[in-house]
């Protein structure tokens, strides 16, 4: 079974997807980390995202790997552990533009579908339920008030990467979040949108545990309805 969790930035997707996967014994995939890893690689090699041919050439040799140690996932590009590096400001500022590229999305969508073969997994991202896995049995779409999401993102980045984000303010964070929302929802290729059959959950005033409970209830109900329909 594939469970997809989509939604804009800072709705709690990663925390929820991780805990849900552990609770039900599924594998967890953070597809946003894959796009960040691709972005990191392009930045490392000083490849201009406007140079489509150079991007295509890099995609052909993109060396990406995921390693799991003690339940935690680590991301590698060209053999280098970039798990922390991909959360820095440079990657964060560039990832929306790069992830909107048709060539990049096609490459990573193929990788995501390859990872899904023969497994029970929770895939978290922006277009999992609409583009990558349109036939997924369970689809979740998380939302949240922009001010709540900006505060959540601000606190997280300040705590984890104080040097990279020492100049960041709440006003700038909210501005960046609104910009990302607009870019993600209006891009030509695979825009962020809710799948018609997805369960929508506003995470603003709910705990992770409450959200996971809602998802599990939806999953069980959905599976029962699918069985009754066959």
Indicate the annotated binding residues for ATP. Answer: 7-15
Helix-, strand-, coil-residue percentages of the chain, each rounded to 5? 55, 15, 30
Q: What's the sign of the alpha-carbon dihedral 76, 79, 85, 86?
A: negative
Residue 26, phi then psi, degrees to nearest 5: -100, 165
3-state secondary structure of 124: strand
Residues annotated in the binding site, as ranges?
7-15
* Residue 163 burial class via C-beta count within 10 angstroms: exposed 0-12, middle 13-18, buried 19 and up: exposed
| Cα–Cα dist 71/202, whole Å | 28
- Identify the bridge partners of residue 138 per DSSP, sorted by sequence position: 3
Contact indicator for 29, 123 with CB cutoff of 8 Å:
yes
């Amino acid at each position: 079974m594939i469970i997809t969790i989509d939604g804009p930035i800072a709705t709690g997707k990663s925390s929820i997807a991780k805990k849900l996967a552990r609770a039900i014994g599924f594998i967890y995939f953070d597809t946003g980390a894959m796009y960040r890893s691709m972005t990191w690689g392009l930045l490392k090699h000083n490849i201009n995202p406007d140079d489509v041919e150079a991007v295509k050439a890099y995609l052909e040799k993109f060396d990406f790997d995921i390693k799991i140690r003690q339940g935690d996932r680590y991301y590698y590009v060209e053999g280098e552990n970039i798990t922390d590096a991909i959360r820095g400001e440079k990657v964060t500022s560039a990832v929306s533009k790069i992830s909107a590229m048709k060539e990049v999305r096609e490459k990573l969508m193929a990788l995501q579908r390859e990872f899904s073969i023969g497994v029970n997994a929770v895939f978290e991202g922006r277009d999992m339920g609409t583009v990558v896995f349109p036939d997924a049995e369970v689809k979740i779409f998380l939302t949240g008030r922009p001010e709540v999401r900006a505060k959540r993102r601000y606190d997280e980045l300040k705590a984890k990467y104080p040097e990279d984000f020492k100049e960041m303010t709440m006003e700038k964070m909210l501005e960046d979040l609104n910009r990302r929302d607009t870019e993600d929802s209006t891009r030509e290729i695979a825009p962020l949108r809710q799948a018609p059959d997805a369960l929508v959950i506003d995470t603003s005033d709910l705990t992770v545990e409450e959200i996971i409970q809602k998802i599990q209830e939806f999953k069980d109900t959905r599976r029962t309805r699918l069985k009754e329909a066959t």
